[in-house]
Structure 1
Amino acid sequence: MGKQVNNLVNINILPITTYLKHCLAILIFASSIFSIQAQELPYNTGKKYTLGDITVLGNTSFSEQTIITYSGLRKGKEMTIPGEDISAAIKKLWSSKLFSDIEIYITKIEGDVAFLQIRLSDLPQLNELKINGVRKSKTEKIIKENKLNKGVKVTENLITTTKNYLTRKYKKEGFLNSKIHINTIDVKDSIQTARVNMVLNIDKGEKVKIKDIVFNGNNVLSDKKLRKSMKSTKKINRIRILKRSKFIDSAYQADLSNIINTYKENGYRDARILSDSIIINNNKTISLQINVNEGELYTFGDITFIGNTVYSDAQLNRLLRIKKGDTYNGVLLQKRIADDSKPDAFDITNQYQNHGYLFSSINAVEVSADNNVIDMEIRISEGKPAYFNNVSVVGNDKTNDHVIYREIRTRPGQLYSKANVVRTVRELGQLGFFDAQEITPNFNNPNPVEGTIDMEYSVKETGSSQIELQGGYGGGGFIGTLGLSFNNFSIKDIFKKDAYKPIPSGDGQKLALRLQASRFYQTYSFSFSEPWLGGKRPVQFTTSLSHTKQFRFNPSTRNADKNQSFNITGITFGLAKRLSVPDDYFTLSQAVSYQRYDLNNYNTGLFTFGDGYSNNLSYTIGLSRNNTSVDPIFPTGGSSFSASAKFSIPYSLFNGVDYSTLKTERDEKQVLLSDPNQSADARARISEIDQERYKWLEFYKVKFKGDWYTQLVKNLVLKPSVEFGFLGAYNNDRGIIPFERFFLGGDGLGNYSLDGRESIQLRGYPNQSLAPLDETGRPSNDGGTIYNKFSLELRYPITLKASAKIYALSFLEGGSSYNNFKDFNPFNVNRSAGLGVRIFMPAFGLLGIDFGHRFDDIPGTPGSSNNWETHFIIGQQF
């Protein structure tokens, strides 16, 4: 065949078209050496050869045989050069993502035998990664999202995609000037495998603020109104607090859509954004320029319903609430058909779905727009009514099935209702046994032909038991508290050894035990609650038992005097029934309670007698309604109110005691207290009279409380509240009792309660400091018989995860207490404002701290306004 080829001919085949061109050049060059005519080897045909030996060269840790086998080339194989076989071999080697610089050479040709050589290098593996410029807590996420784990093959594509990903990520977060640099350094050691260390330098820079937002082409809607429609993209304004002026690309894109929606809401359905641009002023600010085409004003014309057989046109028009001649509002039209922002919205879709028509579809179609009057057809495909087939719950490992199923409003065989699905999710969340944010209704096996649907409620259980273990110094001594609250208890399993994991649980009952003690007092309490008495109806049974013992402080020994004590023992039984009228959010509760107050040589200013007792037998009836949204820790909508009345038996009607005479005598003795010669006898007689007056307490007590929750924007919740309480007497001669009174001010928490008093929270003031003034102008130690309170709270969640739910709040509130209606003025209140945070952990309940600033003087303490109070919240109601 002629002389041997001494030069190596390089066929670097990537991409394939380049390879073919190189092959053609080789063949032309070879034809001059081997006396082969070029016209005998056209570009698209090539020549067949039999492969001889194949060798492998390069920096690789793989064996020669492994590389040759993986390439698909083998000795003795007949193939065309140029042709698809070599192209396929190189593609296979590239697809392994193990090599770089893949080249195939023809080393020699002997007749029809071609000898090949594969030259390649292993891609280097990542040895160590160092990330600079971000917190350590962020590095794990960067590694995971970009697959930068140790041992990964480092390619140019990996470096480029990582850089592009981080650049886009930070731009979306508002860091328009972010810079990403990636360097690789070869590792020199005895290990044969190619390895590199990577250094990832991240310079996010500062978030760029928006100096101005300029609109062009808007004549109908002002710049101010269009800027207002941009919910999350705001220009610099030093007064604004809630919305920042930092540029976030994703929020900006959403706000461009909001601009169009604003036009649609005002009748300009053809409004368009022609273009938008970002003008970079400097490294810290940008300006946005938005060019719009407003189009023309449209109005609604005829609105016709097509396909409706279940509901008449009149019924659907009452839901649509849009009339001919109204300014066109595309956003409102869509909400009246199907409001995706509210699962329980008053719209046409929910009307159908709440009455079984799960498979219905409703679409608004414009049929005419002549003279800017839009005629609409609301096309309805009602479909077949759907019925629940199988209804199941998954995820409840601890809570027994019957506890969940009794709260479910969707039953097998029942007509489908979206409202019942939404209500079920709410009821399961209100139980407190599951993470309310994770309750998911899953629609399985929908069958439009047979009209059936399977429902599966997915729940995630959280710890429902709480422990309170505290120790601290207060009231002149160490105070220890031990509290246990089991909120998903099972009393029927208390004698089953296997049920203690660590306690019997799963039946939805509540059991609470609490012990608090110091040198000066001891408090013991027990309570139990069964939410479904008998298991058939939602009738809640509760019972509680408590005992408190208070010892008087001895100033000479500075210790507790065990010979002077005040004891309270109480027991309560209650029933609460869920009503169906006016709706089943209402609950009627009733309770009977008895407390006995025993005083043993306990002479203080709190009571007018030091030895004796009082009995308090009372009946309480209450009506409440709670339709707050799913999560009881952080409700985002709905309201909660309660009204209650507590009565004792009117003993003065039948016990034969002349309280008018006793009152006259007491007033006479009161005058004698200023006479040293008669004061001792007068005081003793007053004590006897008061013992008679309070042997059996006679009173009535009325209370009201209302809370409302409104989601202003996503996650930002406004909570207004109002409270009122009044304690009265049947017999004015007998007077209002010194027990059961209202003590306003502070955190609303009392370490212990001696006399049935109620501590009312009003932050910014010391505990129980807002007492009414007596005849001498001093604050009364006996509390108030009337109080009112107003509160406005703004809440924002930091996290709502099951392990810990945290939200921040700010508040404005005011309130006051009085001794009679003559002085009562609901608008003359002590005002305060402040900030706080709440943390709810299943094991410990609700914890929090508030910083309150008062604007008014504490009663009886002139000059005490404009000061701060810090309040620690433990176990407070939400």
Structure 2
Amino acid sequence: MGKQVNNLANTFLLKTHLKQCIAILLIALSFTLQAQDIEFENGKTYTIGGVSVSGNTSFNEQTVIAYSGLRKGTEIKIPGEDIANAIKKLWSSKLFSDIEVYLKNIEGNEAFLEIRLSDLPQLIDVKVTGVKKSKVEGIITENKLKKGVKVTENLITTTKNFLKKKYKKKGFYNTKVNINTLEVKDTLDKARVNMVVAIDKGEKVKIKDIIFEGDSALKEKVLRKAMKSTKKINRLRILKRSKFIDSAYQADLASVVDKYAENGYRDARIISESIIVNDDKTISIRIKLEEGDLYKFGDISFIGNTVYTDEQLDRYIRIKKGETYNGVMLQKRIQDNTKPDGDDIANLYQNNGYLFSSINPVEVSAEDNVIDLEIRISEGKPAYFNNVSVVGNDKTNDHVIYRELRTRPGQLYSKADVVRTVRELGQLGFFDAQEISPNFNNPNPNEGTIDMEFSVKETGSSQIELQGGYGGGGFIGTLGLSFNNFSMKDIFNKDAYKPIPMGDGQKLALRLQASRFFQTYSFSFSEPWLGGKRPVQFSVSLSHTKQFLFNRFNGRADRSRSFNITGITLGLAKRLTVPDNFFTLSQALSYQVYDLNNYNTGLFTFGDGSSKNLSYTLGLTRNNTRIDPIFPTGGSNFSITAKLSPPWSLFDGADYEALINERNENQDILNDATQPDANRTAANDRISEIDQERFNWLEFYKVNFKADWYTELTKNLVLRPSIEFGFLGAYNNDRGVIPFERFFVGGDGLGNFALDGRQVVQLRGYPNQSLSTQDGGSIYNKFSLELRYPVTLKASAKIYALGFLEGGNSYNSFRDFDPFNIKRSAGLGVRIFMPAFGLLGIDFGHGFDPIPGQTGKSGWQTHFIIGQQF
């Protein structure tokens, strides 16, 4: 027996690897036993005299022995299944890279075994190449490549397959993944490795061709058009790329089937689809179809309806017998899941309390390819709101939210009211409009009750404007504070300053802007619910501006010559219920004093004196834009305003016809170079006196109209057409149109430091205010078309890109007015809205027409947008 111990050639060896089968193990076992000159042809039973563990392993010996099942004192058969099963159990732990079982010694009927192990290496560090740094952590997490994990062949293979599939779905059809491990020496002689995951995404694969087989009823052109996001290469197409995206492709396959269903082929299906990789690294897609037969609508009957008659429901279905069967259209007219406010039967019931209703179309006959339908309706009980709550508002007080809710406890359920409430909360500007969620809790069909919970996420509603720049001949500094969720009642409560009193939905704004040539101070405050019971908004604003005349000789501001405007405006705006509750009627009373101190310019014919402006503004708006005021995806916004002054000329007793005649006579003297200087000076002084009398109290009427529409062409791609019109008129033609309140068209639309009450109209692609005369126009019109697409709509920053076409102009009178004589432009831009800073943006516009007084087209212009919404 000692010979057997010392002779390694007679050692019994069982060795296996992960990919070796048990049969090979048994053959090896039988072979080595025969080498010991022991007759084990049919196996022999032994008692295990002892088991030892050796090799490169960190596991406790007793733990390994216990897990293997090879315990001292138990009987085993050699060769037999006991040792094979022990090896299988150890492999199944996925902790070892190598397992060997040796028969060390046989003493009588006792067998002594040795288990030699090599632990699987542990992962120390992972390096991922070929992707952005921001994506690395996600890849490590998704594939569970954390420090300390055991590195197996399965882990490596699984990681490779996952990454290839991941990028294939994103259009990188030729992604290659290579994973290498590098052994790291350890002082404890433990197996440890570093891993390098090299990803080569390659280029997104393009689609060379899309081939349909089995199509005869519909043309390939129609089927390709139905595939909205999967397009073959076409150099003339701009908006839709030809890159392959697996998720979009799968959705487009369903769209192909839907297109058949829309055209009467309800049994159409895709038998097979395959992707062929071409030699030029493009792919071709082959889709095999089975169209089936053409079906038509037969009789459509309603079952179970008691609230609405068949005739009323027919008005929503709008399908006549004999029409080509269109399953997609039928479903949309029963319940359009793409439109929460769709004109369908489900919304008819849900908007009138029947939350628990269900409508199911059932085909009762398809004889001769004519489909008879029963629309089976289970109306259920009318539902009433039980508890209505809002969660997530940490800063905004409950009453500010609850007064906007269209859903009240005890009120009959209406889906339209739920949708409208989400819109109203989004329009407040205090919450992330994308995160407002209506949650239905505790529905009770038996009692007809439902609990309603609106979940909101607050965003920063205060803004700070602190900037400096060069413009208007010098440095301009601006400090602005805007608090859009202010609480005036807590202004003397020191505990409410966190950092300011907030939560009552009021708006408070302070602004200071100054340079060498002008100073502007303004204050405004608004309360959206005056008295707290009705949606009547009260607002007040105060402003004071001062502009100094530019000294052309030294380039400095002449502070002895100034033009000041001081004004106050009080306003009320009330939400209406007719014609519908999207209308708002607004009224404002304003008073301004224009004070000129030796301030002679081309705009004013009197340099000393003052003008006073007392005016009343009446406005009617209708705004039903959807949810997010920063990025509306639907609805419209119309407004018409009239600003009127009292007709002072009716009762001031002045003869303006005589004054105009006298003014014209003096103007002739002023224009006559042969007149003595004394006569011309006297004529100029008299013109100033006449104009001071004409404009002592400003007399005018001003009408503005603006309309915007928002249409979502595809997911988040929004088209915004817009039209604008403005007219400034005079009651008394002899008195004439006032030199204030005029329209200045062109540029970024920012008023900058203009102090004459002018209305600045944006028209990108042209320099600021370049499309109006020096004195401004009394009429303007503008047409705009924008295409918008969001980059992100997160609460921290909303970013969207846009393209635009614009046209507009200003005119001095109706004699000059030509709505088709417009200055055209086109361009691209981007908008960024951050709660703390408001709306920022940049536009690159190309003007196709010349600026008045020039011959060449305007060309490219860059415009910066600050704090305005377009």
- Normalised by the shorter chain, which TM-score bucket? over 0.9
Give a deviation string over 1:129-152, Cα, whole Å, max 9, x none: 222322323322221221222322
Partner of 2:793: 800
Structure 1's unaligned 5+ residue stretches are 42-46, 772-779
Q: How does 1:31-430 map to 2 (within 5 A)?
A: 38=42, 52-69=49-66, 75=72, 93-94=90-91, 96-102=93-99, 115-430=112-427
Partner of 1:871: 863
Indicate the larger mover: 525-534 or 3-12. Answer: 3-12
Pick aligned residue for 1:840 from 822, 828, 833: 833
Partner of 1:685: 686
Partner of 2:722: 721
Give a deviation string over 1:361-408, Cα, whole Å, max 9, x none: 222121111111111111222223222222222222211222122212
Identity over aligned pairs, percent: 74
Q: Distance in 2 between matches of 1:52 and 1:359?
A: 75
1:62, distance to aligned residue in structure 2 (A) = 2.3
Q: Distance in 2 between matches of 1:177 and 1:36?
A: 56
Partner of 1:787: 780
Q: Distance in 2 between matches of 1:593 and 1:88?
A: 95
Q: Distance in 2 between matches of 1:111 and 1:757?
A: 114
Q: Distance in 1 between matches of 2:825 and 2:18?
A: 75
Partner of 1:663: 660
SS in 2 for 1:197: strand
1:288, distance to aligned residue in structure 2 (A) = 1.9
Partner of 1:831: 824
Partner of 1:575: 572
1:281, distance to aligned residue in structure 2 (A) = 2.2
Q: How does 1:531-570 map to 2 (within 5 A)?
A: 531-570=528-567
Quickly say closer, same or farther: Cα 1:768–1:30, change in 2 above 3 A. same
Q: Distance in 2 between matches of 1:82 and 1:644?
A: 101
Q: Distance in 1 between matches of 2:386 and 2:90?
A: 55
Q: Tell me if structure 2 keeps the 8 A contact 1:509–1:528.
A: yes
Q: Distance in 2 between matches of 1:475 and 1:13?
A: 82
SS in 2 for 1:284: coil
2:11 alignment partner AA: N
Q: Distance in 1 between matches of 2:301 and 2:78?
A: 72
Give a deviation string over 1:629-675, Cα, whole Å, max 9, x none: 11111111111111111111111111222222212211221111123
Q: Is the aligned partner of 1:10 residue 2:7? A: no
Give a deviation string over 1:186-219, Cα, whole Å, max 9, x none: 1124243211122222222222211222222222
SS in 2 for 1:424: helix
Quickly say closer, same or farther: Cα 1:95–1:623, change in 2 above 3 A. farther
Q: Tell me if structure 1 keeps the 8 A contact 2:13–2:101.
A: no
Pick aligned residue for 2:522 from 525, 532, 541: 525
1:848, distance to aligned residue in structure 2 (A) = 0.7
Q: Distance in 1 between matches of 2:523 and 2:555?
A: 32
Give a deviation string over 1:152-211, Cα, whole Å, max 9, x none: 221111101110011111211222222111111211242432111222222222222112
Give a deviation string over 1:566-616, Cα, whole Å, max 9, x none: 100011111111111121111111111111001111111110111111111
Q: Distance in 1 between matches of 2:463 and 2:643?
A: 30
1:559, distance to aligned residue in structure 2 (A) = 1.4
Quickly say closer, same or farther: Cα 1:473–1:32, change in 2 above 3 A. closer
1:357, distance to aligned residue in structure 2 (A) = 2.0
2:802 alignment partner AA: L
Partner of 2:806: 813
Give a deviation string over 1:407-438, Cα, whole Å, max 9, x none: 12222222222212211111111111111111
Q: Tell me if structure 2 keeps the 8 A contact 1:206–1:284.
A: no
Indicate the larger mover: 112-121 or 444-453. Answer: 112-121
Q: Tell me if structure 1 keeps the 8 A contact 2:703–2:727.
A: yes
Indicate the larger mover: 138-147 or 316-325. Answer: 138-147
Indicate the larger mover: 95-104 or 167-176. Answer: 95-104
Indicate the larger mover: 290-299 or 327-336. Answer: 290-299
Q: Tell me if structure 2 keeps the 8 A contact 1:745–1:765.
A: yes
Q: Tell me if structure 2 keeps the 8 A contact 1:9–1:26.
A: no
- Number of residue pairs the alignment of both structures matches: 862
1:18 alignment partner AA: I
Q: Tell me if structure 1 keeps the 8 A contact 2:364–2:373.
A: yes
Quickly say closer, same or farther: Cα 1:158–1:602, change in 2 above 3 A. same
Q: Distance in 2 between matches of 1:14 and 1:467?
A: 65
Partner of 2:438: 441
Quickly say closer, same or farther: Cα 1:91–1:376, change in 2 above 3 A. farther
Partner of 2:731: 730
SS in 2 for 1:58: strand
RMSD of the TM alignment (CA)?
A: 2.7
Indicate the larger mover: 250-259 or 738-747. Answer: 250-259
Q: Tell me if structure 2 keeps the 8 A contact 1:12–1:19.
A: no
Q: Tell me if structure 2 keeps the 8 A contact 1:216–1:291.
A: yes
Q: How does 1:588-627 map to 2 (within 5 A)?
A: 588-627=585-624
Q: Tell me if structure 1 keeps the 8 A contact 2:798–2:832.
A: yes
Quickly say closer, same or farther: Cα 1:36–1:686, change in 2 above 3 A. closer
SS in 2 for 1:175: coil
1:659 alignment partner AA: Y
Indicate the larger mover: 58-67 or 718-727. Answer: 58-67
1:560, distance to aligned residue in structure 2 (A) = 1.3
1:18, distance to aligned residue in structure 2 (A) = 3.2
SS in 2 for 1:856: strand
Give a deviation string over 1:34-85, Cα, whole Å, max 9, x none: 88995x99xxxxx7x8655332222112222343455576555689999999
Pick aligned residue for 1:654 from 647, 651, 654: 651
Partner of 2:853: 860
Q: Distance in 2 between matches of 1:28 and 1:871?
A: 87
Quickly say closer, same or farther: Cα 1:84–1:397, change in 2 above 3 A. farther
SS in 2 for 1:309: coil
2:122 alignment partner AA: Q
Quickly say closer, same or farther: Cα 1:311–1:3, change in 2 above 3 A. farther
1:252 alignment partner AA: Y
Quickly say closer, same or farther: Cα 1:605–1:66, change in 2 above 3 A. same
Q: Tell me if structure 2 keeps the 8 A contact 1:208–1:283.
A: no
Quickly say closer, same or farther: Cα 1:18–1:480, change in 2 above 3 A. same
Quickly say closer, same or farther: Cα 1:21–1:447, change in 2 above 3 A. farther
1:220, distance to aligned residue in structure 2 (A) = 2.0
Q: Tell me if structure 1 keeps the 8 A contact 2:266–2:327.
A: yes
Q: Distance in 2 between matches of 1:146 and 1:199?
A: 13
SS in 2 for 1:534: helix
Partner of 1:851: 844
Structure 2's unaligned 5+ residue stretches are none
Q: Distance in 2 between matches of 1:657 and 1:244?
A: 71
Partner of 2:758: 757
1:738, distance to aligned residue in structure 2 (A) = 0.7
Q: Tell me if structure 2 keeps the 8 A contact 1:51–1:113.
A: yes
Pick aligned residue for 1:640 from 632, 637, 642: 637
Partner of 1:777: none
Q: Tell me if structure 1 keeps the 8 A contact 2:17–2:97.
A: no
Quickly say closer, same or farther: Cα 1:849–1:114, change in 2 above 3 A. same
Quickly say closer, same or farther: Cα 1:465–1:50, change in 2 above 3 A. farther
